[in-house]
């Protein structure tokens, strides 16, 4: 991505209402290395003086460490390679798809049918994003 990719894009406050509503309506938000994403979202909201929506989120990085402890690390590219998924790393849409595919692979690996069942079986609970 270059600065030209976002040169004519709207600033965050213009897209924030739709994004924040989407996050607040989600059953759960999935992110790989959620600490980074949640920190970036919180800092952006604070920068623009916007209210924090409340939503539950889960970090697939930490979940992968419980499910596949034998992997050399649990970075998204390593975990995606482990499940046979190729993607364009550090490209937002591709990373999001990879995190979703990793979650589905973990559901299959553990032998459950839903993220909620996966949480119960692994002992990992979603975290809450709020003010």
Domain limits for position 38: 13-129
- Supply the pLDDT for residue 91: 85
Q: CB of 76 within 8 A of CB of 83?
A: no
Instruction: Tell whether 120 is covered by a domain.
Output: yes
Number of domains composing the chain: 1
Instruction: Tell whether 1 is covered by a domain.
Output: no
Q: CB of 59 within 8 A of CB of 35?
A: yes
Q: CB of 50 within 8 A of CB of 43?
A: no
d(CA 35, CA 62): 10
Instruction: Tell whether 70 is covered by a domain.
Output: yes
Instruction: Tell whether 71 is covered by a domain.
Output: yes
Global pTM reads 0.84
Kindly report, residue by residue over 12-71, the tens digit of the pLDDT.
Answer: 999 999 999 999 999 989 999 999 999 999 999 999 999 989 999 999 999 999 999 999
């Amino acid at each position: 991505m270059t600065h030209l990719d976002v040169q004519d894009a709207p600033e965050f406050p213009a897209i924030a209402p739709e994004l924040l509503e989407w996050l607040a309506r989600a059953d759960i938000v999935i992110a790989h290395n959620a600490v980074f994403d949640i920190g970036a979202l919180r800092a952006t909201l604070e920068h623009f003086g916007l209210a924090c929506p409340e939503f539950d989120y889960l970090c697939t990085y930490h979940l992968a460490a419980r499910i596949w402890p034998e992997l050399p690390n649990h970075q998204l590219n390593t975990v995606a390679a482990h499940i046979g998924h190729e993607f364009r790393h550090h490209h937002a849409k591709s990373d999001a798809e990879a995190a979703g595919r990793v979650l589905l692979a973990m559901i299959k690996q553990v032998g459950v049918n839903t993220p909620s069942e996966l949480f119960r079986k692994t002992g990992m609970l979603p975290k809450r994003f709020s003010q």
